[in-house]
């Protein structure tokens, strides 16, 4: 599964998440295509949960202080 404009639109509608146009571009750049195979040739496929979690982290990054 990949992030598409429709996927992001549905996130905005159903989850009431504020996603700016700039953030949408970043999401589509990062998750708009399947990941490249690793060194061993294994292909990872994003799940819907993966996309939701990664987008949530992009929108609301946690600041860690020491």
What's the pTM? 0.77
- Compute the distance between CA of residue 24 and CA of residue 8 in angstroms, rounded to an integer: 7
Q: Tens digits of per-residue pLDDT, 6-18?
A: 999 999 898 888 8
Burial of 3 (0-12, 13-18, 19+ CB in 10 A): buried
**Contact between residue 65 and residue 30 where contact means Cβ atoms under 8 Å apart:** no
**Phi/psi zone of residue 59: left (φ > 0), alpha (ψ -120 to 50 degrees), beta?**
alpha
According to the model, what pLDDT value does residue 2 have? 92
């Amino acid at each position: 599964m990949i992030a598409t404009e429709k996927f992001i639109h549905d996130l905005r509608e159903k989850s009431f998440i504020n996603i700016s146009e700039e953030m949408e571009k970043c999401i589509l750049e990062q998750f708009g295509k399947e990941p490249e195979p690793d060194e061993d040739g294994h292909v990872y496929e994003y799940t819907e949960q993966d996309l939701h979690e990664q987008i949530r982290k992009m929108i609301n990054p946690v600041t860690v202080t020491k």
